[in-house]
Amino acid sequence: MPSRANIVREKEDGVPGLNADHSANRWAATARKPWVGASVMIQKGCHRRLVVEVGLAETLHSVDLSDLGTNLGGIYMSSVTVGSYLCGPGQPLLLIAGPCVLQSVDLALEIAEPLARLNERSDVNVVFKGSFDKANRTSLNAKRGPGLEQGLKMMEVIGSKTGLPTTTDLHLPEQAEAVGQVCDLLQIPAFLARQTDLLVAAAGTGRPVNVKKGQFMSPEDMKYVVDKVQGSGDGGIMLCERGTFFGYGRLVNDMQSLVLMRNLGVPVVFDATHSVQRPGGLGGATGGNREMVEPLARAAVAIGTDALFFETHPDPETSPSDGPNMIPLHAFEATMMRLLRLREVAQSVAAEA
């Protein structure tokens, strides 16, 4: 096994800015265990995740020693580990994508497989999203999904067959443990962003938590959400902008939210599809305007969001939920190519500032 000096050389050659020697010593000191050896694993590119294996006797422990923070203009920005990815400053774009609600394994795989091909690129990390229950549907008669047990079995199959990390939303504290055993990222719906018991339970799984900003909340109010999650677990938190109520049945985006929430020191996500919702716009169902999805996503990319969230479907008009907001699957890759090109330009401009 390489020595600590070897790790430093790996760091200097492949992962600039990650202080492997310091982090490894810090871990060893915290664990009160002597060094035996270490090896470096860098996943999917040179600036992903730094992992060492630290062993005592015949027991080896895989420990993530990435420097999970960056100082940007006096604001300490923490990165969040999602599966084998890092989301945050200097990292590839995190893309959370999938159908709104799970319908069948076959349909989910039809959506996930092109996402997995997209994930072969070095400038994007893809997480598959699918909901097992849409508990906040407008109508009592609306289809809600396969339920917790069946839905998580479907997510296990999707993750296993595609290799993609997975995420789903939960609505009750008692769902957190089961979801955390299957999914790499836990999502909190916007309507539930202030629910302390739910946030504490999600954080307690040790998984990272993506909390959608309530449509009724200011970005500054999300500070207290961050405090609840960070005070209840060490998996990390991301905050998601998905629109703000503008009267009845209409959402608007205040793009300042992305900057203000990022100033709380956590990665930010822009949910482009739910931002174009028209709540209750179809009578007993939510409407939307998918033509505005890409323009809003472009604005978020130009500002510097760490992650994007989209829902996509082979035939959005047949989706049980949020069809009017979705990007048709056949158009999704081309949409992402444009956004990734824009992100490259935006990052080069930001570097000159």
For residue 168, is pLDDT > 80? Answer: yes
- What's the rounded mean pLDDT across residues 176-198? 97
pLDDT at 308: 98
Q: What is the C-alpha separation between 101 and 53, in angstroms, rounded?
A: 38
The pTM for the full model equals: 0.80
For residue 7, is pLDDT > 90? Answer: no
pLDDT at 176: 97
* pLDDT-wise least confident of 190-199, 203-212, 343-352: 343-352
72 pLDDT band, cuts 50/70/90, is low
For residue 46, is pLDDT > 90? Answer: no
Radius of gyration of the chain (CA): 20
pLDDT at 116: 97
pLDDT at 258: 96
More confident residue, 52 or 170: 170
Q: What is the C-alpha separation between 208 and 216, in angstroms, rounded?
A: 24
Domain at 71-352, CATH from 3.40.140.10, 3.20.20.70, 3.40.190.10, 3.30.465.10: 3.20.20.70
Residues 6+ apart with CB under 8 A from 345: none
What does the mean pLDDT of the chain come to? 80
Q: What is the C-alpha separation between 312 and 55, in angstroms, rounded?
A: 44
More confident residue, 46 or 135: 135
281 pLDDT band, cuts 50/70/90, is low
Q: What is the C-alpha separation between 310 and 280, in angstroms, rounded?
A: 20
For residue 88, is pLDDT > 90? Answer: yes
For residue 14, is pLDDT > 60? Answer: no
CB 335, CB 327: distance < 8 Å: yes
For residue 140, is pLDDT > 90? Answer: no
Kindly report, as residue ranges, where domains of CATH 3.20.20.70 are found in the chain: 71-352
For residue 164, is pLDDT > 90? Answer: yes
For residue 79, is pLDDT > 90? Answer: yes
Q: What is the C-alpha separation between 195 and 227, in angstroms, rounded?
A: 13
At 271, is the secondary structure helix, strand, or coil? strand
For residue 71, is pLDDT > 80? Answer: no
* Torsion from C-alpha of 188, 192, 197, 200, nearest 10 degrees: 30
Give the tokens for residue 119: 């994930």
pLDDT at 25: 35
The secondary structure of 274-311 as a DSSP string is GGGEETTTTSSS-EE-GGGHHHHHHHHHHHT-SEEEEE
pLDDT at 18: 35
pLDDT at 139: 62
Nearest partner of 308 among 57, 125, 116, judged by Cα: 125
- What's the rounded mean pLDDT across residues 77-84? 92
pLDDT at 144: 74
Q: What is the C-alpha separation between 62 and 206, in angstroms, rounded?
A: 16
CA distances to 10, 67, 93, 239, 255 from 258, in Å: 34, 23, 15, 9, 6
Percent share of the chain, pLDDT over 90:
60
138 pLDDT band, cuts 50/70/90, is low
At 313, is the secondary structure helix, strand, or coil? strand
113 pLDDT band, cuts 50/70/90, is very high
Helix or strand (DSSP H, E) at 63 = strand 59-64
For residue 342, is pLDDT > 80? Answer: yes
54 pLDDT band, cuts 50/70/90, is very low
pLDDT at 69: 61
CB atoms within 10 A of CB 125: 27
For residue 265, is pLDDT > 70? Answer: yes
- What's the rounded mean pLDDT across residues 83-112? 95
